[in-house]
């Protein structure tokens, strides 16, 4: 499936992808993802990028509002081995998993090289301090425009606007958003047009790179077992979620395989 995506400079991008359950996921490689983000960021375009795993696509299939948020994203990336596998099944055999922690690190390397600045929004002050130390060690010339840990509650309109003003005045090209799914996706959608930067919803990437959460070994990542590593690390928080969402994903995917996938919807997902 192909659809055109326009940026403010008038340049066209071809979007390739397919629907995984009810969510349009882009079929795209690492180099193109980073290049596209950097291109948008160089012009301070207000865009947002979601990284979608099984939890995301199942939630989108059950919640119309969240489905709209994901399908209106400028890019919806296959974060999660089953989502990438679904794209391969739909005719994109080279599709790999595009995950938040690796996307963060790859873009930071490019940002340091080309002089773009970044802002981090989410998590806790303690995690952000550790993250900043790690980033400065790995990317000493990178410009960090700011870091903020907002209160874990709904913000007043005045508080929200203050954060928007702070981010925009910082001159950040890209804002990494680590509020957790689905809060971070809803926040990005609500702030497109207000935040003059590309927003990336990277979930637990802050904690992984700060070292507050241990990431799965590389061999587990390559085998698509990172979810299992997270479950073992946080069983109380994740067991119910995985039991519900994984079972729905497996059931609907198996049903489509047995009965034949429904016709793919055409055109821009938005």
17-72 pLDDT, tens digit per residue, is 999 999 999 999 999 999 999 999 999 999 999 999 999 999 999 999 999 999 99
Whether the Cβ atoms of residue 58 and residue 19 lie closer than 8 Å to each other:
no
Provide the phi-psi class of 123: left if phi over 0, else alpha when psi is between -120 and 50, else beta: left
21's torsion region: left (phi>0), alpha (psi -120 to 50) or beta?
Answer: left
Beta-carbon neighbour count of residue 182 at 10 Å? 19
Q: Compute, in degrees rounded to 10, the torsion defined by CA atoms 206, 210, 214, 217.
A: 90
Q: 230-266: per-residue pLDDT in tens?
A: 555 556 555 555 566 766 777 677 767 666 655 444 3
CA dihedral sign of residues 16, 33, 209, 206: negative
In the structure, what pLDDT confidence band is assigned to residue 5 with cuts at 50, 70 and 90?
very low
Give mean pLDDT, residues 3-24: 69
Residue 167 CB burial class (10 angstroms; 0-12, 13-18, ≥19): buried
Give the HSE-up count for residue 258: Cα atoms under 13 Å, Cβ half-sphere: 6
pTM comes to 0.85
Residue 220 to residues 177, 230, 246, Cα–Cα distance (Å):
25, 11, 18
Express each pLDDT in 113-146 by its tens digit: 999 999 999 999 999 999 999 999 999 999 999 9
Q: How far is CA 228 from CA 109, 211, 247, 252, in A?
A: 29, 19, 14, 21
The residue-averaged pLDDT of 75-96 equals 94
Q: What is the pLDDT of residue 9?
A: 40
Q: Give the phi and the psi of residue 52 in degrees, each rounded to 5.
A: -110, 120
Task: Answer whether residue 214 shows pLDDT above 70.
Answer: no
Q: 216 pLDDT band (50/70/90 cuts)?
A: low
Q: Give residue 195's pLDDT.
A: 98
Nearest to 148 by CA among 111, 173, 117, 123: 123
pLDDT of the residue at 80: 85
Which of 172-186, 189-203, 245-259 has the weakest average pLDDT? 245-259
Q: Write down the domain spans for the chain.
A: 13-219
Question: Are 168 and 193 contacting, i.e. CB atoms less than 8 angstroms apart?
Answer: no
Classified by CATH at the fold level, domain 13-219 comes out as: Rossmann fold (3.40.50)
Rounded to an integer, the average pLDDT of 73-79 is: 97
Sheet harboring 2-6: ordered strands across?
Answer: 2-6, 12-20, 23-26
Q: Among 142, 151, 146, which Cα is nearest to 195's? A: 146
């Amino acid at each position: 499936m192909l659809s055109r995506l326009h940026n403010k400079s008038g340049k066209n991008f071809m979007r390739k992808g397919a629907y995984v359950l009810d969510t349009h996921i882009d079929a795209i490689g690492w180099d193109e993802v980073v290049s596209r983000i950097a291109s948008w960021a160089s012009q301070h375009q207000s865009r947002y990028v979601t990284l979608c795993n099984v939890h995301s696509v199942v939630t989108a299939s059950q919640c119309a509002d969240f489905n709209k948020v994901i399908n209106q994203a400028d890019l919806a990336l296959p974060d999660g081995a089953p989502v990438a596998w679904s794209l391969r099944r739909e005719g994109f055999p080279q599709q790999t998993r595009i995950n938040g922690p690796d996307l963060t690190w790859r873009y930071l390397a490019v940002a340091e090289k080309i002089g773009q600045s970044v802002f981090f929004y989410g998590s806790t002050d303690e995690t952000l301090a550790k993250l900043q130390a790690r980033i400065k060690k790995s990317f000493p010339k990178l410009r960090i425009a700011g870091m903020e840990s907002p209160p874990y509650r709904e913000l007043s309109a005045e508080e929200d606007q203050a954060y928007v003003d702070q981010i925009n005045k910082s001159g950040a090209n890209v804002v990494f958003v680590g509020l957790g799914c689905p809060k971070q996706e809803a926040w990005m959608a609500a702030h497109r047009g207000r935040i003059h930067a590309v927003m990336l919803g990277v979930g637990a990437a802050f904690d992984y790179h700060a070292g507050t959460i241990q990431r799965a070994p590389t061999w587990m990542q390559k085998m698509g077992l990172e979810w299992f590593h997270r479950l073992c690390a946080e069983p109380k928080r994740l067991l119910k979620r995985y039991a519900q969402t994984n079972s729905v994903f497996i059931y609907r995917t198996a049903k489509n395989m047995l009965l034949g996938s429904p016709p793919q919807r055409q055109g821009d997902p938005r």
